């Protein structure tokens, strides 16, 4: 017997209601039936994004909407800032560079969040028209202070663009209230869908800036997507995924966004307590990340053996390190459709695997520490 448990920061487990919707035959997108589903989805997305802006949907992985943000907001000679603390922050640099734009880059040591005052100072000093950054840096398990970013940029000319792909639905993000101009998201993380949809929500100020952008674009042209939004977009929408998104949004509405975020915070706190009780060290002690916990591999433990044994023996998929952290850390996702029992079982499996690989620990110490956090309902 084999069960698949995705304790990874994307893709994440998909609830049965969502899977059932995915199993229905696709309907045509120029029909009243699809239109009404799309409008319901759009209302739901506004709730999850905490915005009154249109949320544009692309059939693509999350990176597609990142590219859409770049090509719709930037011109070749623009001054832009990327504030990064990991692999996904660096992706903004790669996208911009591939269009010939050389951003100013604020690099923060991996494992730490970006200090808002540093971001603000660099944006002002460099005269940045657009600032690109990340809500939750999935490669390191760090949540950035996006409200702080919006605060330091208030009254300035910079547009703030946030990759919230792994943070949306797991971490508080009040786009309109905080004044975040652009938020980008993807389907296979907190939204509990398979990969294949990306989202972008832009303020009126950002749409105004977008009018003047001169980077080349066709598929990613946001004005064209917005103009034809009511038809499902300019091109064939990912009909099945949108029908399924209607179901996952219903689940989020039923639980309530605040409770969804609270559940993520609790699972994250329990995970941090558990791995430390096992004698492991957090990679990002100040990461405060609701979506993923990153952990140093102990001396002498092979990361690929660990993730392989977790998967093959116990059906628990966790993630290794990315970029310069490959072979140095592993990452436990607690994102999307994950509950307390999923987590406790996975932590129990982790203890058994570590013991088998020769790491000395007492069985149950980590699970117990997690249980204690969960019983307190605490967020330690």
Ligand X SMILES: *Cc1c(COP(=O)(O)O)cnc(C)c1O
- Residue of 228, 286, 290 whose CA lies nearest to 260: 290
Asked whether position 10 contacts ligand X by CB under 6 A, the answer is yes
| d(C-alpha 293, C-alpha 263), whole Å | 15
Tally of CB atoms within 10 A around 153: 22
338-374 in b/e burial notation, b at 16+ Cβ within 10 A? bebebbbbbbbbbbebbeeeebebeeeebbbbbbebb
Asked whether position 337 contacts ligand X by CB under 6 A, the answer is no
Give the nearest distance from C-beta 166 to ligand X in angstroms: 3
Give the nearest distance from C-beta 264 to ligand X in angstroms: 14
Give the nearest distance from C-beta 198 to ligand X in angstroms: 7
Asked whether position 62 contacts ligand X by CB under 6 A, the answer is yes
Candidates 61-69, 142-150, 249-257, 299-307: pick the segment binding ligand X (CB under 6 A). 61-69
Among 71, 95, 165, 252, binds ligand X (CB under 6 A): 165
Cβ 290 vs Cβ 331: under 8 Å:
no
Give the nearest distance from C-beta 202 to ligand X in angstroms: 18
Asked whether position 61 contacts ligand X by CB under 6 A, the answer is yes
Candidates 161-169, 260-268, 318-326, 347-355: pick the segment binding ligand X (CB under 6 A). 161-169
Cα 58-189-147 angle, rounded to 5 deg: 90
Alpha carbons within 13 A on the beta-carbon side of 9: 30
Among 103, 186, 233, 320, binds ligand X (CB under 6 A): 186
- Name which of 88 and 337 has its Cβ closer to ligand X: 88
Asked whether position 63 contacts ligand X by CB under 6 A, the answer is yes
Candidates 15-23, 59-67, 99-107, 215-223: pick the segment binding ligand X (CB under 6 A). 59-67
Alpha carbons within 13 A on the beta-carbon side of 178: 23
Among 8, 134, 143, 213, binds ligand X (CB under 6 A): 134
**H helices present in the chain, as ranges:** 16-22, 32-49, 62-73, 87-98, 116-125, 146-153, 175-178, 204-211, 222-227, 239-255, 257-277, 303-314, 340-356, 365-376
Give the nearest distance from C-beta 352 to ligand X in angstroms: 28
| d(C-alpha 135, C-alpha 49), whole Å | 13
- Residue of 135, 149, 182 whose CA lies nearest to 288: 135
Give the nearest distance from C-beta 165 to ligand X in angstroms: 4
Among 42, 67, 90, 163, binds ligand X (CB under 6 A): 163
Q: Contact residues for ligand X (CB under 6 A)?
A: 9-10, 61-63, 88, 134, 138, 163, 165-166, 186, 195
């Amino acid at each position: 017997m084999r069960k698949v448990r995705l304790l990874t920061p994307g893709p994440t487990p998909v609830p049965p209601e969502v899977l059932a919707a995915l199993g229905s035959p696709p309907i045509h997108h120029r029909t009243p039936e699809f239109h009404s589903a799309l409008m319901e989805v759009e209302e739901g997305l506004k709730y999850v994004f905490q915005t009154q802006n249109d949320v544009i949907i692309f059939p693509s992985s999350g990176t597609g909407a990142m590219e859409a943000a770049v090509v719709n907001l930037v011109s070749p000679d623009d001054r832009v800032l990327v504030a990064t603390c990991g692999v996904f922050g660096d992706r903004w640099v790669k996208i911009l560079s591939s269009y010939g734009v050389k951003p100013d880059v604020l690099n923060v040591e991996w494992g730490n969040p970006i200090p808002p005052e540093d971001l603000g100072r660099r944006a002002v000093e460099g005269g940045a028209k657009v600032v690109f950054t990340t809500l939750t840096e999935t490669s390191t398990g760090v949540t950035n202070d996006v409200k702080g970013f919006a605060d330091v940029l208030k009254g300035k000319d910079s547009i703030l663009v946030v990759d919230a792909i792994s943070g949306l639905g797991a971490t508080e993000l009040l786009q309109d209230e905080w004044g975040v101009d652009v938020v980008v998201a993807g389907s296979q993380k907190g939204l509990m869908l398979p990969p294949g949809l990306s989202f972008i929500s832009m303020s009126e100020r950002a749409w105004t800036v977008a009018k003047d952008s001169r980077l080349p674009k066709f598929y990613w042209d946001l004005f064209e997507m917005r103009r034809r939004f009511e038809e499902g977009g300019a091109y064939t929408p990912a009909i099945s995924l949108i029908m399924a998104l209607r179901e996952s949004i219903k689940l989020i509405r039923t639980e309530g966004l605040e409770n969804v975020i609270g559940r993520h915070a609790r699972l994250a706190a329990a995970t941090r307590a558990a791995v430390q009780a096992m004698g492991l060290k957090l990679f990002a002690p100040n990461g405060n990340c609701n979506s993923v916990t990153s952990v140093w591999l102990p001396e002498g433990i092979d990361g690929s053996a660990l993730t392989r044994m977790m998967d093959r023996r116990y059906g628990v998929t966790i993630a290794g390190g990315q970029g310069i952290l490959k072979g140095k850390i592993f990452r436990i996702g607690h994102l999307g459709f994950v509950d307390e029992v999923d987590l406790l079982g996975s932590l129990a499996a982790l203890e058994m695997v570590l013991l088998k690989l020769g790491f000395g620990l007492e069985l149950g110490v980590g699970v117990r520490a997690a249980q204690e956090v969960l019983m307190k309902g605490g967020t330690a």
